[in-house]
Structure 1
Amino acid sequence: MKLATGVLAAALLLWGWHNELLLIALPLAVIIELPRWVPWRWQLDHKDFQRLADVTTVGFVLLAVYQFDDRGASGIYGILLWLPVALFPLTATQLYSTRERIDYTALFWSVRAAVARGKVSDPGGVDIRLTYVVVCLVSASGGGAHPRLLLPSAAALAVWVLWSNRPRRYRASSWVAIAAVSLAVCFLLQAATLQARRIIEPLAMAYLEDRIAARGDPYRAYTAIGHIGKLKLSDRILLRVTPDESGRKPTLLHEASYQTFARNMWVSRRSTFDELRSSAEGTAWHIAEEPEHMSSMSIAAYLPRGKGLLAVPAGTYRVDSLPVDGVYRNRLGALKVLRGPEVVNFRAHYRPHDFLDAAPEAADLALPKAQRELFGGLARDLELDGNRDRHAVEQVRQFFSRGFTYTLNLKARRTEATPLAEFLLRSRSGHCEYYATSTVLLLRAAGIPARYATGYSVQEYSELEERYLVRRRHAHSWARAWVNGGWRDVDTTPVVWAALESAGASWWQPAYDVGSWLAFLFAEWRWEETEGETKSWMLWLALALLLILVWRMARRQRVLRKGEGGIAASGSWVRQGTDSAFYTIEQRLIAAGHLRRRGESVSAWLRRLAQSGAAPETAELLRDILPLHYRYRFHPLGLDDDGRRELATRSRKWLARNPANPR
């Protein structure tokens, strides 16, 4: 099958467009189309292609290892994304060589072995160009930049390829008609597939509910209000919490808040996210102006595919040790990460009883039309009208503390009453979503602004890990009320709920906890913050293989079509920041006996020294010198002349104040 001029370039550009990699696709497209105009070809034999195919295989294996190590199970998407780049050298070499096909011995070791044993005399070959077009189309399908235009653009490219290979014995109009019918069937099949997906997805939601719920959604919170039967809870560990030296910890970690209740679901409309200001090294994220005295706690969490909501205590002013591309916050206090490692171990600095959420709005007093009579009447019965202060909140607490019980096993309603009416007026038994929803709506009926908050309860201490474990079954809901000019948490769920859920834990939970801990240690090691060294050996090995390949190709004899020609190239690369004055300070500290632990980042090392008081003036290093060093070492723009002078001056003064111990 022949390919028209420009098809390969179009396939590459299509891949780059759908994956937002046009800056990479454009030069590759130029390189792959140049053989039509260059006057020479490489004279390569089948053994050269065998070596090239072997190098390509090694490169693909390195790509797969890197992606799975970097992204876990999601690495398959990274492999699909970079497949055209991995196969580009093999395709381009065929185009720049005198051969029109690549022997099967180069592509399949089994064929190579059969030829070596004399079982096959003529293995044949394949023109890899069409295969490369298909690879580009498959890789483009994994991109999400322009989903509505994927099928039309892929269909246009396919029609282009088929048109140049159409049978000449048939009229063009007949071919066009057949192509039109085929495209129509293709689009109908796509519509049918989408419809089938809409039907199948709800059925799969029950199976995936546990994993999806763990990721959180800042815009909506699905409740189990109205669910009949026993709710099944998971022992899966989501968070690991380590309080500061005082040992104090908040009982609740807030993840998101919502304002509107409808159809047993809480939603938050008009909830835009703003990016937080970060420190120079990009690991500390500032939420608000910090007070003088704050508590802190370490929170280890999983971020599926590197994104999700962060569960933090109320009054969190700053999070640090969080190496992500960005942290975003909405006016209701939800913190969201869009791109980062799949395991993070950050520190939240907070002041208890401080709430940084936005002031009340009209939505915080709104009652659903279907619930106004119920909660309005209940507010009057409790004489909450006019008590818009903490006394009204205490009355609500006392109401739920008398005669209400906690259960996960809800029975069918015997009346036509709504689930909330059944809970408040008849059964008086439910789980935290019933209590939180009823509390929010009852406070609103009393004229007190309130919001529905979700997050986790911190309650289970692990002797094995020496920190608190937060499981999926520790997910919790409560109310936030505006009282005396500020927000406060109002949790009316009976305190026995934690003990009741723990009693239902699986018998094999201890064994699971050990396995989960080991898996977490491995994941933490895999994603730990190191200074640019993680997985770099793979990149260097791939670069070395590429240089060897280019060198061998350059030595091959070239067959000229229009005279002689040559190509010369030279270049150099300098590692930025290797002359940073901070390295002298680092060696001074190491020489003084302050060694870094295995896998410990520089920032964590200095923070440990500052907390223990083992080394002098480490606070200045963390505050002033290390951010300059990180920017000089890792930022794409580096440091300007003034910044480098400041780094050198501060480092020199620190070294002068802290001389080396004489031997």
Structure 2
Amino acid sequence: MTPPPFLLGSTLLFWGWQSQSQLLPFAILMAIILESPHWTKWRWTLTDKDFNLVIDFTSFSLIIAVIYLTTQQSSHGLMILLNSLPILFFMLITTQTYSTQGTIKLSSLFLSLRHYESKVGKPHPKANQRINLSYPYMMICLLSSSLNNTPWYFVGICVLIGYGLWAARPQRYSLTIFGLLLVIACTLAYMTQLGIYRLHSKVEELILNWFEEMFWADRDPYRQNTAIGDIGKLKQSNKIILRVKTPNPLLLRETSYNTYFHTTWLAKPSKLSEISYANDVWTYEKFKLKKEKKENSPEISTYLRKGKGMLALPHGTYQISNIPVLSLQHNNFGAIKIENGPELINYTAHFAQKTPLDSTPSKFDLYLPPHEKPYLKELSNQLNLAHQTEQQVLNTLSRFFEQNFQYTLKLSAPTQRNITPLEDFLRHSRAGHCEYFATATALLLRTAGIPSRYAAGYAVVEFSQLENAYVVRKRHAHAWTLAYINGRWQEFDTTPATWVSMEQEMATWWEPINDLWSYLGYQLTKWRWRENGNDWLLWLILPLTMIFIWRLYEKKLPVLKKTAQETVAKLGTDSPFYQIVRQLNTSGYNRQAGETLTIWIKRIQMLDTNIQTMLTLHQRYRFDPVGISPQEKAVLTRHVKTWLENSKTR
């Protein structure tokens, strides 16, 4: 179906206007080019192979644009691509518009149909069908126009689609009925899209909340839901989430907490504040750099989900350098939150053992939950913790957990009722994962009067020869204790060292393959986010465009003269059956506006076997893309001639 005049041009102008006028100059030029054929008869006699070339060039340009925009702009590049689709497909629609055929074969659009003939030896039944891409191109323009979500968008598409429908409306219906139906359709469409938009917002909110609760709770600087009390085997992913260049294994903390309540750790009071920035270095405001020997400055690489996350840092970090963000926030528990960052960040953490990064102890750092306090005091008395020095308490608890407990990821229900999971761990099962050990250690330290906190993060223990760096997987997530001793917070980990080897046993046989794939993806992401991006991709389009123009020029395509005799007739308009139609009209059997041939012939009671046969052949010849064979056209011509001769004798 050919669109009416000015429809494509108006759609392009609407797209340019909706793009906040940035693309309006291009839209005006494109609209003029596509509307000019209504006044000029200049055409190219392009073959199907020429259309194949144009479509292949368009497809390749689209692929190059996808690669370039995604590598330069990440997910935002897809929005830019969607907004630019009318430009990418403009050469294709222009070639169709200025061709003598005015349509494109399906085999040109689909490679599968092109290869079918080479494999089977004959064309595919649908390969020769031809379609007009004008209306699909109009839909692409309207889709691209929807990105900016301006108030007049819905009104614009209603006007444009209404004009397109008006040009193709059945003539037997009045303009009043057509206008009324169009208003009803637009009203229903507006109500539907409004309902879908609200439903989308609610579903998106629910899904995000679910993901936040199920997968990203450990990223919360205020709250940590532990797996204490869960039943079954804990499973952690082997996915690599951090890469660390450091000479020795270490612990990377994301945040810490000071209040335990029903298997959940909380940080209170906790308030985020900005970190000062100067000379590409982020430094805590309260820290005054002294001439101390820096023990280590590990280089850390990690991904950010939607540009947000918590930084994993060594305990005692006081400076962060080489991190490409505009702001960093931290709380008084050593947590650093990042927002509006790139997909991949590489940063260097500077730390020293005597650096006071966390706030000094408060009453919450000695708080014992009422449900846990009785048995904790009893166990503390058994270990005689209250009468020991701080260092002796650490040694006693280390021996206690090392000699009497074991690490496991297979958890069962408490052996007795009316006891908490933590009490069952300390009294009966004496087996659990790091969250049990860190929580129990922190609370037992408090019974001895030592302030303590629960720290959560990752253990850097696996060195990769492939990457020449330590890799941190999701299964390396770890929890330990911070104890306030000698005027500073110190790391204290009582989880049996066997946990590392037990976690390693979870590795699958295909882990090396996944690691190689992950490393390649990591290198690709680094390349994407490097400076001096991938502008060289744009240079591929220029020579291809020149080759295409040269190819068209070399063909020396003939141009049709502006004469009515040489105007290409529409397929099927020379059907012999129109002689019968003219004969009936001259005989007084007038055909009403919008009335089909079949209904008209039935109404005037002229439908018999002969007419039915001719009408079927005529409709196939007029509307079927495949058409009819020369033999069938000869049959139609012979039947029409016989009918006309018989009508004269009546």
Note whether the superposition's TM-score is higher than 0.5.
yes
Question: Cα offset for 1:411?
Answer: 0.8
1:136 aligns with 2:144: yes
Structure 1 residue runs of 5 or longer lacking an equivalent are: 17-21, 141-145, 557-663
Which residue in 2 is equivalent to 1:536?
A: 535
TM-aligned CA deviation for residue 224 of structure 1: 1.6
Counterpart of 1:436 in 2: which secondary structure?
Answer: helix
Q: Secondary structure at the match of 2:423?
A: helix
CA contact (8 A) 2:233 2:411 kept: yes
Q: Which residue of 2 aligns with 1:645?
A: none
Partner of 2:473: 471
Tell me the equivalent position of 1:520.
519
Which structure 2 residues correspond to residues 497-512 of structure 1 after superposition, within 5 A? 497-502=499-504, 504-506=505-507, 508=509, 512=511
Normalization by structure 2: what TM-score? Answer: 0.61
The letter for the 1-side match of 2:412 is: K
Question: 2: distance between equivalents of 1:501 and 1:250?
Answer: 16
Aligned AA for 1:28?
L
Cα separation, partners in 2 of 1:230 and 1:39, compared to 1, 3 Å: closer
Highest Rg: 1 or 2? Answer: 2
Q: Which runs of structure 2 are paired with 1:598-613 in the superposition (5 Å)? A: none
1:475-511 residue CA offsets vs partner (Å, 9 max, x unmatched): 1012234444432223232333223333x33462xx6
Deviation (angstroms), 1:470: 3.0
TM-superposed deviation, 1:535: 2.5
The answer for unaligned runs of 5 or more in structure 2 is 170-174, 558-650
8 A Cα contact 2:69 2:80, kept in partner: no
Q: Residues 366 and 444 of structure 1 are in contact (CA less than 8 Å); yes or no, is this contact kept in structure 2?
A: yes
Percent identity (aligned): 27
Q: Are 2:406 and 1:405 aligned? A: yes
Instruction: Look up the match of 1:28.
Output: 23
Cα 1:108–1:257 change in 2 (3 A) is same
RMSD, matched Cα: 5.4
Match of 1:659 in 2: none
Cα distance, 1:359–1:403 mapped onto 2, change above 3 Å: same
1:534-576 deviation line (CA, Å, top 9, x unaligned): 53321333466679999999xx9xxxxxxxxxxxxxxxxxxxx
Deviations 1:48-102 (A, max 9, x none): 987765543222111233456679xx76x74354122143254499699986997
Q: TM-score, normalised by structure 1?
A: 0.60
Question: What letter is aligned with 2:372?
Answer: L
Deviations 1:97-138 (A, max 9, x none): 9869974369726699999x999889452325522234326x
Are 1:63 and 2:65 counterparts?
Answer: yes
Q: Partners of 1:180 and 1:378 in 2: how far apart?
A: 68
Q: Relative to structure 1, is the Cα distance of residues 447 and 162 closer, same or farther in structure 2, using a 3 angstrom cutoff? A: farther
> Which amino acid is 2:523 matched to?
E
For 1:193 and 1:531, locate their aligned partners in 2 and report how far apart those are by CA, in whole Å.
35
Q: Which residue number corresponds to residue 255 of structure 1?
A: 254
In 2 relative to 1, CA 490–7 (structure 1 residues): closer, same or farther, beyond 3 Å? farther
- Paired residues of 2:480 and 2:491 also in contact (CA < 8 A): yes
**What is the one-letter code of the residue matched to 1:477?**
A
Match of 1:428 among 424, 427, 430: 430
Alpha-carbon deviations, 1:384-424, whole Å to 9, x = none?
78999667666665665563332211112241433233334
| Alignment-derived partner of residue 241 in structure 1 | 244
Q: Does 1:232 align with 2:229?
A: no
Query: C-alpha distance in 2, partners of 1:12/1:266?
Result: 54
User: What is the identity, as a one-letter code, of the residue corresponding to 1:516?
Assistant: D
**CA distance, structure 1, for counterparts of residue 97 and residue 512 of structure 2:** 61
When residues 552 and 533 of structure 1 are mapped into structure 2, their CA distance, relative to the original with a 3 A threshold, is farther
User: What's the secondary structure of 2:475's corresponding residue?
Assistant: helix
Distance in 1 (alpha carbons) for counterparts of 2:275 and 2:25: 38
CA distance in 1, matches of 2:194, 2:35: 44
Q: Given the alignment, which residue of 170, 175, 179 partners 2:177?
A: 170
CA distance in 2, matches of 1:160, 1:63: 31
Which residue pairs with 1:486 in the alignment? 488
Aligned counterpart, 1:126: 133
Counterpart-to-counterpart distance in 1, 2:530 and 2:197: 46
Return the offset for 1:203. Answer: 9.7
What is the aligned partner in structure 2 of residue 378 from structure 1?
376
Measure the CA separation in 2 of the matches of 1:549 and 1:275. 56
Q: Is the 8 A contact 2:376 2:443 kept in 1?
A: no
Q: Could you say what secondary structure the match of 1:372 adopts?
A: coil
Alpha-carbon displacement from aligned partner over 1:271-327 (angstroms, at most 9, x marks no partner): 5464663646xxx655565554212234444556666444232223444555x4456
Question: 1:170 offset after TM fit, Å?
Answer: 1.8
Q: Does the 8 A contact of 2:455 with 2:479 survive in 1?
A: yes
Deviations 1:136-170, CA, capped at 9 Å, x for gaps: 26x73xxxxx9xx79x9875655454454466342
Amino acid at match of 1:231: L
For 2:389 and 2:327, locate their aligned partners in 1 and report how far apart those are by CA, in whole Å: 36
CA distance in 2, matches of 1:46, 1:316: 72
CA distance in 1, matches of 2:420, 2:263: 10
- Show the counterpart of 1:352: 353
* Aligned-partner Cα distance in 2 for 1:276–1:550: 57
SS across alignment from 1:537: helix
Deviation of 1:432 after TM superposition, in Å, equals 1.0
Matching residue of 1:328: 328
- Matches of residues 241-390 of structure 1 in structure 2 within 5 Å? 241-243=244-246, 247=247, 249=248, 251-259=250-258, 261=260, 264-266=263-265, 271-272=271-272, 274=274, 277=277, 279=279, 290-292=289-291, 293-294=293-294, 295-303=296-304, 308-320=309-321, 324-326=324-326, 328-331=328-331, 332-334=334-336, 336=338, 338-340=340-342, 342=344, 346-360=347-361, 371-375=369-373, 378-379=376-377, 382=380
